[in-house]
Amino acid sequence: MALIITEDCTNCDACVPVCPNDAISEGDIIYEIDPARCTECVGAEDDPQCELVCPADCIIPDPDNEETQEQLQAKYESLH
């Protein structure tokens, strides 16, 4: 499943440079993750890098966008 950024985001910008898929961008109020580009770092890293660096712990799985590891891997391969 893709990840989402909750309203607890502090706009610190820590997540943007660590995303291997350029899925994170500045939104109107908080940063946003493009679900079409988010692979939870499958294909690039063992763990979602944005979650690891987020000081506000505001990046969580999107319950409305469940994807299997295989789907995430296929998405990663299509992006790269």
Q: Is residue 77 within a helix (H) or strand (E), and if so which, with residue range?
A: helix 69-79
Q: How wide is the angle at C-alpha 2 spanned by C-alphas 42 and 18, nearest 5°?
A: 60
Q: Where are the domains of the chain?
A: 3-74
pLDDT score, position 71 = 96
Q: Enumerate the β-bridge partners of residue 3.
A: 61
Distance CA 37, CA 2 (A): 8
What CATH number has the domain spanning 3-74?
A: 3.30.70.20
Assess whether pLDDT exceeds 90 at residue 17: yes
pLDDT given for residue 19 in this prediction: 98
Position 1 pLDDT exceeds 90: no
- What's the Cα-to-Cα distance from 32 to each of 63, 70, rounded to whole Å? 16, 24
Q: Which of residues 12 and 2 earns the better pLDDT score?
A: 12
% of the chain beyond a pLDDT of 70: 100
